[in-house]
Structure 1
């Protein structure tokens, strides 16, 4: 391999380019990006000078309990930053704030009494009196399975806001196998969920396992390792560091260069046709674009893969980032989640400067940075997407003030929209991804990376990119 094209300049595409040049030094890599910037869902801003070192207006953290982002940051010489342990997030339900219950697996308890106060007595009783269901033949939806076992209230008030915060989706639509795999054996064997959670928590306490879903901030012991990490200036600094490293290594970046077609060319090469530059041929092709974009590009390459990717739904969302005056009183906690059963415009709010000490230290006195998230999968498309940025800000701030009871003056706001950005992992997702990979193994020179396959978080995207480049180049698996 002497040349390679990477289509898509988000974190997955950048990591793929990085691994291509580190695995095969001398490879000429060209990155095509449809927009005018690199980084995808990682994006920073100085918030009108209030955060001169930068702050995230996109994804604002990565899991520390997984090794991929940590390893890449250390490889690039970046120092890690961790959330404050003095603050934790809460759930706003029934008109009040509640601590996220400790001792749960993504909100599912081993001891239902940890949910006291958040659920009513009758709702707690329903959780305690788990109703076993018949063994499931395959994958099931998280919400459907847990509601049948433990009741609707647990699903709608606790599990949905926690899981929805990751996927911008609804847990009744999401795959159990892909999102909380530790509970899948209970579904398949027809055994108690409460027992399964208890075993996961015992393993975690003994240091035997780091189970997905068991590391919700606020639900762990105080002595536990940090759940999340970031960088000074925000996670977007990872994009800056990667881009600089790639540019120094000779990678060519083409911005504002949408790719409209790819095809297998003669001699085992790949032709890439961009809107601006015509067609060029490469020895290898990495598609690092969302599933809905990959569908069209792959239609003439492999109809089965294109069809599977075409069936992936996506959620749209928006983040309103505000700099507010807190001279009246400092904010408490690191933010809150709002269950979809509540009547609210925003679905969550993060008190970013409480969460990240490095950010608080850089802000002007008596100010704070607050993020408000809008949009879930399944929303009425007219509920918020047609609103102008000014209207979106006004609605979000009004709702935040209603929920918090604060009239904090707003000094600056920014809106970042993420249109069809988060894939929804519906039941059967892992099997569909496995089928894609099986077919992909028979298509020489092609790799597929991004959040539509093995996970939506930064570590999962890095892992997918590293795995695919190892397969493409014949190198050792990561």
Structure 2
């Protein structure tokens, strides 16, 4: 008897869901699995927060504008999709970053992206820390390692090792700012596990980071070494477009504008489930396996009938709301005021602005000659008030901050506001333990997998890795189910 294909429904067409579907097509071919895959997205377009807009020669990223090159999954996927020649590095001639501190922008000395400055002189002269703050930071060598135990907050970890001032003025804006989060709530183990690992291995972060730096860079396989962050010349939506095209060519069913309102299970035989998805258009589909690549709060609603305990834990994953405000200027109006890639604002400064990027200085081909493109970031945990009001209010707030912090007072020639309500998941203390409990609560349903930014990494490479890993779990399950 010829068996029909096993069906997989991927719920969510952001980068994690698309990467999962693409990986499934490859695994099915490699393992000779007969699969029918369908991707459902409630929004009218693919890509989630990866959205590229073009306006009058400007290239504007509404969400993320780049991805970390040290995590290989995004780079590898771009190359696999034939986008390798579109990968671009940051503009090396503008490679400076600033911190707004004590009334002015202060350059962040080279190397501080990993805490340890590569040159001590510029760090001492930067004015980022007082002499007492510098002295306390230097004492990190002598701070004993913490005994392995319960999870620790990001602030608790770095303040214990480097002191309050270094945490407030340097570490918090660089690290907590990635998550638009509050360092007192964020889990160090879930966000930056490398640092507690270094503490345990070397006894000192400074000692461990210096040792890793002296070991030299990884070989680049004959390719030019990428910068810390990379992007695509024509915008990150190119990655989404390439994935969707490949999926369509592979015969994957792709449907936008339809959400999943409910998920039910029924059993054909002991331990074997069929997953029924009730769709927003009134239809229903049945699947042998499901990948939920949607926000944690959406997954919580869907899995509540299957595991109330897992649903309750998913609801404990908090989300921050943010907005990006793009402003274009005539170059002559702002050139004297800007240099480098942009600046971050420590929470201790009590400003509404999280950060600003001089986008057209950081990346090539983002603005036509004679124009400068700037991106401002508002919102985040504890800064939600900055998002109040209309889009015009957000533009005015951003302009006021740019005038006060960077001296940009000219009127912009173009503005664009992109809001992301509940857009950034927060990995609060105890996050990894909650994930273990969520998985345990859903363990009866091996054909159901949760993936995406809510769990083990918010960046594009992390979401791709999680999507691929989810596809691997589903392929293993279906291969065992058919045998």
> What TM-score do the two structures reach when normalised by structure 1?
0.88
2:285 to 275, 280, 286: 280
Asked if the contact 1:103/1:114 (under 8 Å) is kept, the reply is no
Q: 2: distance between equivalents of 1:174 and 1:109?
A: 25
Asked whether 1:139 is paired with 2:141, we answer: no
Question: 1:428: how far off?
Answer: 2.3
Q: 1:158 matched to which residue of 2?
A: 170
2:346 to 333, 339, 343: 339
What is the RMSD of the two structures over their aligned residues, measured on CA atoms?
2.5
Change (3 A) 1:462 1:475: farther
Taking the TM superposition and a 5 Å limit, the aligned residue runs for 1:414-433 are 414-433=416-435
Tell me whether 225-234 or 317-326 shows the greater mean CA deviation: 225-234
2:76 to 71, 76, 80: 71
Tell me whether 400-409 or 452-461 shows the greater mean CA deviation: 400-409
Q: 2: distance between equivalents of 1:55 and 1:347?
A: 19
Q: 1: distance between equivalents of 2:73 and 2:374?
A: 28
Q: 1:406 matched to which residue of 2?
A: 408
Q: 1:240 matched to which residue of 2?
A: 241
Asked whether 1:386 is paired with 2:396, we answer: no
Q: 2: distance between equivalents of 1:142 and 1:57?
A: 28
Q: 2: distance between equivalents of 1:397 and 1:208?
A: 40
Question: 1:439: how far off?
Answer: 4.8
> What TM-score do the two structures reach when normalised by structure 2?
0.87
* Unaligned segments of structure 1, at least 5 residues: 211-222
Q: 2: distance between equivalents of 1:37 and 1:306?
A: 27
Tell me whether 198-207 or 35-44 shows the greater mean CA deviation: 198-207
Taking the TM superposition and a 5 Å limit, the aligned residue runs for 1:197-208 are 197-207=206-216
Question: 1:12: how far off?
Answer: 0.6
Q: 1:82 matched to which residue of 2?
A: 89
2:314 to 309, 312, 319: 309
Asked whether 1:327 is paired with 2:332, we answer: yes
Give deviations 1:102-152, integer Å, cap 9, x for gaps: 344643669987643200112222223345576352220110122233321
Change (3 A) 1:73 1:475: farther
SS in 1 for 2:240: helix
Question: 1:349: how far off?
Answer: 0.5
Asked if the contact 1:325/1:409 (under 8 Å) is kept, the reply is no
* Unaligned segments of structure 2, at least 5 residues: 479-483
Asked whether 1:123 is paired with 2:133, we answer: yes
Give deviations 1:47-66, integer Å, cap 9, x for gaps: x2223xx4312111011112
1:15 to 3, 14, 19: 19
Q: 1: distance between equivalents of 2:92 and 2:118?
A: 24
SS in 2 for 1:45: strand
Q: 2: distance between equivalents of 1:99 and 1:236?
A: 32
2:160 to 148, 160, 179: 148
Tell me whether 103-112 or 364-373 shows the greater mean CA deviation: 103-112
Give deviations 1:283-336, integer Å, cap 9, x for gaps: 111100011111111111122322221111111100001111112453311111
Q: 2: distance between equivalents of 1:304 and 1:207?
A: 47
1:292 to 285, 294, 297: 297
Question: 1:452: how far off?
Answer: 1.2
Asked if the contact 1:161/1:340 (under 8 Å) is kept, the reply is yes
Q: 2: distance between equivalents of 1:24 and 1:185?
A: 37
Give deviations 1:348-398, integer Å, cap 9, x for gaps: 001111111232xxx33210111000012133x4x1333111111111112
Count of residues in correspondence between the two structures: 453
1:91 to 81, 86, 99: 99
Asked if the contact 1:182/1:196 (under 8 Å) is kept, the reply is no
Give deviations 1:220-245, integer Å, cap 9, x for gaps: xxx97511111112212111111122
Q: 2: distance between equivalents of 1:153 and 1:4?
A: 51
Q: 1: distance between equivalents of 2:333 and 2:118?
A: 40
Change (3 A) 1:308 1:113: farther
Taking the TM superposition and a 5 Å limit, the aligned residue runs for 1:143-292 are 143-185=155-197, 192=203, 195-207=204-216, 225-267=226-268, 268-292=273-297
Asked whether 1:100 is paired with 2:104, we answer: no
SS in 1 for 2:172: helix
2:358 to 351, 360, 367: 351
Q: 1: distance between equivalents of 2:425 and 2:361?
A: 29
Question: 1:251: how far off?
Answer: 2.4
Asked whether 1:472 is paired with 2:482, we answer: no
Q: 2: distance between equivalents of 1:205 and 1:188?
A: 19
**Greater helix proportion:** 2
